[in-house]
Amino acid sequence: MKIITEKSALLKPLSHIQGVVEKRNTIPILSNVVIKADEDGLSLSATDMDIDILEKFNCNVINPGSVTVTANIFYDVVRKLMDGSEIQIEFNGGTASLISNKSKFQLPVLPVEDYPNLNQDDLPINFKVTVDELCKLIDKTKFAISMEETRYYLNGIYIHKHDKKLIAVATDGHRLARTSISLPSGADLINGVIIPRKAIYEIRKLIEDFSHDDQVSISLSDSKIRVKISNTIITSKLIDGNFPDYEKVIPKNNDNIVKLDCLVFSESVDRVSTIFSDKSKSVRLSLSKNNLSLEANSPDTGSASEEIGITYDKDDISIGFNSRYLLDVTSQIGSGDLIMALKDSGSPALISLPDDTESLFVLMPMRV
C-alpha cells in the first residue's frame, strides 16, 4: 500500500476517528484505525464495539492495500506536522512508514484480518434532518444526560415521536430538558430509542463542520442508529432499556410566572457562585414584586448577593437551585427573555422561552 495526501485532508477524519477509539483497551487491535486504499480513494474506520465510524476521502493512491496502526499516535503525528504538508504513507509488511518533508515515522501495525468487521446492514427506518435541526435536538438536551452508570437508561437522549413532532429528552433525575422538531418524512415508525452519550457527542462533533442546511441521513432499528453526512458514517448501538415516563415530572400548575433577561440572569448567577470552589453549590433566589435577589453562602469562602430587575407580581418566594444547573440552562437560551414558572419553594421549576415553544427545562430545587 502506498498513498500520498495532504495534512488537511487527513487530519479532520482522523480527529473524528480518534474520538471513537478508546485509548486503553483490553483488546489491543481496538486501539487501531484501519487504513484502506483502493480505486475510490482512502477510507479510515474504527470501532470500540459499541460505535463504528467510517470516513472516506480522495487521495493519490499509488498502490492499493490496507493496514491498521495505533489511532491516537497516528493522529498526534499528523496533527504536529507543518500545515500544508504533503504526507506519504506506505506499508510493505512489518511497519507502516509515514514521510512528510524531512520527517519520517515508523508505526507498528496489526493484521487487518484481526480487526472486527464493521456492520453496514440496512436499517428499516430512514429519514433526513438538517444539521440545524439535529444540532437543536442535541444541544438543547445533552447537558441533562445522566453520568450515573447505575441508571444506564438515563445515559443518553431519548428520541421519540408525538403529535407529528420528533422529540428529544434527557434527564439525570435532578433536571430535565426537552425539545422537538417537525416529524421528518419516514420517521413516523419510530417507537422510541435511547442514543448513548458517547454516540451523541461524536455525532455532534462530526456535524459541526457542516452548514446549517446540509442534510443528515439517519437510519434506525430497535438496536442501532446510523448517521451519515457527506462521506462519513457513524453507527452506534442503542441503549437497551426503558426511558421513564418523563411527562409525570413536568410541572402542570406552576402559576407564579417570572420573566427576566436570560443573559443578565446568567451573568448574575455566575458572579455570586464565584465564591464556591465548584459550581454545584446552591444559589438562593428570592422573588418579590419586580425584583430578584440572588444569594450564595459558603462557610469556608464567604458569601455573595446581587439584585436584578424582573417582571413578577405574585407572592414572595424563596427557592434554591444548583448554580451549575442554572448556568447549563441559560447557556442554551443565550440572549433574550426567559420564563420561569414556580409553584412554591419545594417544587420543581419550569423554564421556557417566549419564542421557542418546542423547548422546556425542569429543575429540581435544592435546600439552601
In this predicted structure, what is the pLDDT of residue 23? Answer: 77
Among candidate residues 90, 114, 138, the one where a domain is terminated: 114
CATH number of the domain encompassing residue 267: 3.10.150.10
Q: Indicate whether 340 belongs to any domain.
A: yes
End of a domain among 114, 136, 151?
114
For residue 270 the three cell numbers come to: 455566575
Same domain, 312 and 238: no
* Residue 367: predicted pLDDT: 79
pLDDT more than 70, % of the chain: 99
* 8 Å CB contact between 150 and 172: no
Coil/strand/helix, residue 187? coil
Does 60 reside within a domain? Answer: yes
Q: What is the pLDDT of residue 279?
A: 62
Q: 119 lies in a domain? A: no
Residue 301 has pLDDT above 90, yes or no: no
Find the domain containing 180 and state its range.
125-247
Instruction: For residues 43 and 9, state if they share a domain.
Output: yes
Please indicate, yes or no, whether residues 67 and 47 belong to a single structural domain of this protein.
yes
| In a domain? residue 67 | yes
Among 188, 218, 247, which residue terminates a domain? 247
The answer to the question of residue 66 being in a domain is yes
Number of domains in the chain: 3
Are 276 and 221 in contact, with CB atoms under 8 Å apart?
no
Terminal CA-CA length for the chain: 65
| pLDDT tops 90 at residue 266 | yes
Tens digit of pLDDT for each residue in 220-260? 999 999 999 999 999 999 999 999 999 999 999 999 999 99
Considering the chain, what percentage of its residues have pLDDT values greater than 90? 87
Q: Are residues 56 and 83 in the same domain?
A: yes
Read off the pLDDT of residues 93-145 as tens digits, 9 standing for 90 and up.
888 999 999 999 999 999 999 999 877 788 999 999 999 999 999 999 999 99
Q: Are residues 302 and 237 in the same domain?
A: no
User: Are residues 230 and 272 part of one domain?
Assistant: no
What's the whole-number mean pLDDT along residues 63-80?
Answer: 95
Residue 170 lies in a domain: yes
* Residue 299, pLDDT score: 83
120 domain residue, yes or no:
no
b/e for 14-49, b at 16 or more Cβ within 10 A? bebbbbbbbeeeeeebbbbbbbbbeeebbbbbbbbe
Q: For 9-35, what is the mean pLDDT?
A: 91
